[in-house]
Amino acid sequence: MNNISKPRFLISVFLISVITAVVSLNSDISESFFLDLQTFLSKYLGWMIIILANGFVIFSIFLIFTKYKDIKLGGSEAKPTYSYVNWIAMLFSAGLGIGLLFYGVAEPIMHMNSYPGMVEGDISYNAGKAIGLANLHWGIHGWAIYSSLGLCFAFASYNKKLPFRVSSLLGSKVSNNKPLAILIDIIAILTTVFGVTTSLGLGTVQISSGLAHVFSINETFSNQVIIIAVITLIGLISVCLGLDTGIKKLSQLNMILATTLMAFIFIFGPTIFILNALIQNFGSYVNTLIESATWTEVYQSTSWQNSWTLFFYTWWFAWAPFVSLFIARISYGRSIKEFIIGVLFVPSLIVFLWMGIFGNAAIYQVINETSQINEIVNNNYTVALFALFDVYPIAKIASIFSLILIVTFFVTSSDSGALVASMLSSRSQASINDDSPIVSRVTWAILLGILAGVLLYAGGLTALQTSVVILGVPFSIIVVFACRHFYRSLEDELNN
C-alpha cells in the first residue's frame, strides 16, 4: 500500500464508481448521451481526428530515418528483456486481442452492405474496398498511435528514469506541478479503463453469442454477467502472478491458438481464392491508402464515417495509454528503429493476414452463395465468426476452439489493463521491474469487470462502443505534446 499514489488511485476509483452508478441508474439517457456525444465529436472534430491519426503515422516512420534511430531504450548497454517472439506475442495480445476475433469476419461483410461508395452490382470492387477499409481501421494507423506514445513512455522511463506515468511525458513543468500531473494521470487511468472495458464488453457479447450458436444457451444478461465474473476471476489469478508468469504465458498461448485458427481457415477454406485476394488486397491498400485515410465524407450527405473510421481512430486513442505503456514496459533494450518496425509494421502485417484470410473466406461464401452469412451478419454480427465455420468440417470443434481463444484474449486484456492502471496509479515504478501493489492490481481487475457488466446492462454494445470517445479525443492532444517533448529530448540523449 505504501507505493500507491492515493490521489491518483482514490480519485480515479471514485470517478469510475460515480460514472458506473450514473450509467446504471439512467441507462436510456446514458445511451442517448453517448450517441449524441459521438455525433458531436465526429461532426465538429472529425477533421482533427483524421489529421492526428495520419500525423502519428508520419511521425513514427520519420523517426526510422533520423539520426536518432539507433538510440536504445535504456541506454547504449541495455539488452532486450524478452525475445522477439515473446515481445510480438505480448504486444499483439494487448493491442488487438478480442477486436480482431469480433470484427475479422463481420466488418468486411458489413462494409460491403453499408459503405456509401459501393458500386451497385460490382461485387469485385465492393469486396476489395471492404477488405481495404477493414485493414485501414485495424492496421498501420492504430499501431502508429501506439508506437508514438509507446516510445514516449519507454524513453521517459528507461532513459530519463521517470515513473511510468503520462505526466512524466510532458516535461518538468507539468510533472512538478502536482495538481496538473495528477489530473493528467487520472485522465489516462479513466481512458485506459473505458478503453479496456469496451474490449471486454465485445468479448462478453461474442462469447455469449457463440455459446448460443454452438450450445443453444440463451443470450441473457445474467449469463453475460456470469461470463464476466468467470473471466475476471481468471484475470485476477493472472494479474497476481505478474507479467512474466501470467501475461507472457497467456500471450504465447494466444498466438499459438490464433495462428492455428487462421491456418485452419486458410487450409480448409478457399485457399487459392484467399491467396489471390491477399495479393490484390495489398495492391489496393497501398494504392488507395492516402485517399482512404484522409476521406472526410464532406461531399456526401451520409454519416458512415461517424460509426466506422472516426470511431476506430478514437478507439485507438482511448486504448493508447493502456497499450502504449504496456508495450513500453516490455520493450527495454530495443532501439528506436527496432521498436517502430516491431510495433508499427509487424502487427499491421498480422492484421493484413488475419483480415485477408477471415474476411475473404466470408466474402467467398457471399459471392458463391454457399451460406447465409450475409443475412446472419446483418441480423446479428456478434455471431459472424461462428457462422463462418458452419460450412467447414468439424465446425463445432472450430467454434469451441474459437471460444477458448476469445476467453484467453479476454483474460489478457483484463489483466494487462489492470496492470497498467495499477502502474499509472502507483507512487513510483522501477524502470524494469513491476512493483505496482497487488492490492491495486486486484482492485482494477475487479473494477474492469464491474464496469463492463454495468455498461452492457446500460445500453449494450452501443453504449460500450460510443462511451470510448469521451476521453479518447482529448487524450490524443496529450499524445501530441508528449511526442513533441520526446523528440526535443532525443538530441540530449544523443550527445550524452
Domain boundaries, the chain: 6-495
Residue 278 CA to residue 258 CA, distance in Å, equals: 18
| Whole-Å CA distances, 18 to 14, 23, 190, 428 | 6, 9, 12, 27
φ, ψ dihedrals at 426, nearest 5°:
-90, 160
pLDDT digits (tens, 9 = 90+) for 159-183: 998 888 899 899 888 888 999 999 9
Residue 145 CA to residue 22 CA, distance in Å, equals: 31
Q: Has residue 130 got a pLDDT over 90?
A: yes
**pTM for the whole structure:** 0.91
Q: What one-character DSSP code corresponds to residue 335? A: B
| Whole-Å CA distances, 249 to 207, 229, 244 | 22, 22, 7
Where does residue 145 rank: exposed (0-12), middle (13-18), buried (19+ CB within 10 A)? buried
Residue 197 CA to residue 328 CA, distance in Å, equals: 21
Look at 12-26, 144-158, 343-357 and tell me which has the smallest mean pLDDT.
12-26
Please give the single-letter amino acid code of residue 106.
A
Output 489 or 241, whichever has higher pLDDT: 489
| Relative orientation angle of helices 6-25 and 438-467, to the nearest 10 degrees | 40
Residues in Cβ contact with 290 at an 8 Å cutoff, skipping those fewer than 6 apart: none
Task: Report the half-sphere exposure of 312 (CA within 13 A, side-chain side).
Answer: 22
Residue 476's nearest CA partner among 31, 46, 34, 4 is 46
Mean pLDDT of the chain: 87
Question: Is 72 in a helix, a strand, or coil?
Answer: strand
The pLDDT assigned to 434 comes to 52
Q: Has residue 107 got a pLDDT over 80?
A: yes
Residue 370 CA to residue 299 CA, distance in Å, equals: 37
Please give the single-letter amino acid code of residue 73.
L
Output 32 or 365, whichever has higher pLDDT: 365
Number of helices followed by number of strands (H, E) in the chain: 22, 0
| Whole-Å CA distances, 95 to 29, 84, 313, 359 | 31, 16, 14, 20
Residues in Cβ contact with 449 at an 8 Å cutoff, skipping those fewer than 6 apart: 200, 228, 229, 231, 232, 235, 414
Which residues are 4's β-sheet partners? 426
| Whole-Å CA distances, 61 to 55, 147, 443 | 10, 10, 38
Which residues are 72's β-sheet partners? 335
φ, ψ dihedrals at 206, nearest 5°:
-70, -40
pLDDT digits (tens, 9 = 90+) for 1-44: 567 888 998 999 898 888 777 777 777 777 788 778 878 888 88
Which residues are 335's β-sheet partners? 72
Residue 212 CA to residue 144 CA, distance in Å, equals: 37
- Quick one: fold of 6-495? Amino acid/polyamine transporter I (1.20.1740)
Please give the single-letter amino acid code of residue 154.
A
| Mean pLDDT, residues 241-264 | 84
